Amino acid sequence: MRAVRVLSAALLMLGLAAAPAAADSTPSPEASGDGGGPTRAGTSFRTATEVEQEQTATARASTGDYLYWSFPADAGQRPTVRATVKLPEGHAAETWQIDVYDGLRRRQACQYGAQTRTAVAGAASVELACVLRTVRAWSEPWADDPLPGTYYVRLTVLKLSADDLGKPVDAELRVESKDMGGAAAVDGSLSEPLVPGIGSREKEEALHGPKSVLAELEPEDGWTSGWWSDRWIWTAAGGALAALAGVLGYRLTRGPGRPRHVPPGA
C-alpha cells in the first residue's frame, strides 16, 4: 500500500511539472521573433505595441487572434503599411486583412494596396499593403481626413476553416512614409496631435513619470516637424518674380517722360 502511495505521488509531481511546459507551447502574440523591432503585438487598441516608422515588427500568434500595433504619423506624410503573414503548412484557403485607424479610432480608407487578400491552400505566406491618404495638419470637425497623431494597425484573419483555427502563424509589420511636401500643406494646425493621453501628459508625468503616458513614440523631429516645406520656397520665389515683373512693366509703360523745356526764340 505504501508503494502505491509513493508511485501516485511521483506521477502527480510529474504531471504538475509537465503542465507549464504544455501551456508555454501555445503560440501567443507576445512570442518573440527575429529582427531589431518589437517582437510582440497587442490584442486591443489599449495594448497595441508601438512601432517606429521604417522599423520591422514581428509577432508569433495563433490563427484567429487580433494583432494590434501603433505608429506615429505627422502632417505632410503619406504612410504605407505593409504586413506579411507566414502561414502554417497544410492549411486551407484563408482571407487576411489589415485595418488602419487614426487617433480617434476612426477607420481610415486606403488609397490603394491589397488591404484584403486570400491565400490559397498550402500557400507559404500572404502579403498585405495599405497606402493611406496624406496626413493633414488641420481639418474640419465633420471631415474624416487623417490628422497628426497615433495610428493603429489591426491584423486578423476573416475567413478560414475550422481545422486551421488556432494554428501558429508569424506576422511581420513595417510602416514607411513619403513626404508629400508643400503640395499637401494647409493653413491651420491642431493644438495637440491625436495621441492617447496627451491631454494629461504633463500631469501624469509629474505624478507617475513618463511611462504613464499611453503613447510615447513621436516623429524624429517632434510633432509638426513638417511646418517647413517647399511651399515656402515657391511662395517667396513667386513674390520675387511678381515684384520684378512689376518693375519691368513700369519701365516699359512709363514712356520717355516729360518733354524737355525749350527756351523761347530758340
Written as tens digits, the pLDDT of the chain (266 aa) is 444 344 444 444 444 333 333 333 334 465 444 457 899 999 999 999 999 999 999 999 999 999 999 999 998 899 999 999 999 999 999 999 999 999 989 999 999 999 999 999 999 999 999 999 999 888 887 888 899 999 999 999 999 999 999 999 999 999 999 988 766 666 667 778 888 876 665 565 566 555 544 556 777 667 775 455 566 676 778 888 888 888 888 878 876 666 666 666 65
The DSSP code for 44 is: S
What is the pLDDT at residue 20?
37
Going by C-alpha positions, the residue among 128, 185, 113, 123 that lies closest to residue 160 is 123
CA 201/CA 6 separation, integer angstroms: 60
What is the pLDDT at residue 229?
58
CA 92/CA 164 separation, integer angstroms: 7
What is the pLDDT at residue 12?
40
What is the pLDDT at residue 192?
80
How, if at all, do strands 49-50 and 67-73 pair?
parallel
What is the pLDDT at residue 256?
66
CA 148/CA 222 separation, integer angstroms: 11
CA distances from 10 to 17, 152, 201 (A): 11, 50, 55
Give the other-Cβ count within 10 Å of 171's Cβ: 24
What is the pLDDT at residue 13?
41
CA 181/CA 184 separation, integer angstroms: 6
Question: Is pTM, for the whole model, over 0.75?
Answer: no
Do 188 and 143 meet the contact criterion of CB atoms below 8 Å apart?
A: no
Do 113 and 97 meet the contact criterion of CB atoms below 8 Å apart?
A: no
CA 36/CA 23 separation, integer angstroms: 27
216: Cβ contacts below 8 Å, ≥ 6 apart: 50, 210
Do 151 and 53 meet the contact criterion of CB atoms below 8 Å apart?
A: no
What is the pLDDT at residue 25?
35
What is the pLDDT at residue 26?
36
The DSSP code for 214 is: S
What is the pLDDT at residue 232?
65
CA 13/CA 15 separation, integer angstroms: 5
What is the pLDDT at residue 142?
82
What is the pLDDT at residue 5?
46
